[in-house]
Amino acid sequence: MQRARGHARIALRFDDGATRLWEFYQQGCCKIRLPRPELGGPMQAVLLNTSGGITGGDHLEFEVDIGEGTEAVVTTQAAERIYRSPAGPGFVINRLTVANGATLDWLPQETILFDRSGLDRRLEVELTGNATALLAETIVFGRGAMGETVRTLSLADRWRVRRDGRLIFADGIVLDGDAATILGGGATGGGATAIGSLLYAAPDAPAHLGAIRDVFAECVSEAGASAWPGLLNMRFVAQSSQILRQDLRRVVEALRGRPLPRVWHC
């Protein structure tokens, strides 16, 4: 059967007092759009998958390279849908490189997993010097408004973050089988249908822990945060994608000091 293939790459550099497009490549179903930045805001890149979703055997790869002194926001046009897979998972690789003195907000919209879907995804981040990165991912198990329940699922989602070549953060989520039953346990999801991860990697990251815990007091999701030198790690578990989206917005905007990208509100 025909499978979707795509590869897209964007590189930004700070030149002559402004952030400029340095490299732009797109092939297959992977596309990138560059909307006009908000007044006074950083450059934005919007990633698209024109195949309409991901199923078994699809291969997508996105690369983002943020040069020294550059500030950028990378998001997605809409939620990514992972459809029923006839054989094996779909594969997604996201590679981010952030140079010394640069700032990247990686803010894709939700990933929605359908029943009998499969996804193998990797997020690989390379930071240099005092680079700053805010990394978010949200996973939704079925469309709650449609009464969907995910009973069969194969999910492997891995994060690897390095600074100056040294591994500083490694994380992974693996779900194989009846997702609703697995997430129904009190020690797993407590019946949640949406989970989120947010990592802030910056020299001053631990200093934000107290303020973020204050924001958590306003959240409906079950949320927690921990910090260690150079990292602030936040987790969310929610009964619906709408609740999680609202709570994630509160936390991200508290860290960024500005609203989420416009495509989040379209």
- Note the pLDDT tens digit of each residue in 68-125: 999 999 999 999 999 998 888 999 999 999 999 999 999 999 999 999 999 999 999 9
Average pLDDT of the segment spanning 30-40? 89
| Structural domain count, the chain | 1
> How many angstroms separate the CA atoms of 266 and 260, rounded?
11
Query: What's the whole-number average pLDDT of the chain?
Result: 94
pLDDT of 39 strictly over 80: no
Alpha-carbon dihedral 231, 232, 233, 238, rounded to 10 degrees: -160
pTM of the model: 0.95
pLDDT computed for residue 187 by the predictor: 81
Residue 198 lies in a domain: no
- Residue-range definition of the domain harbouring residue 151: 5-189+259-263
Residue 221 lies inside a defined structural domain of this protein: no
In a domain, 59, yes or no: yes
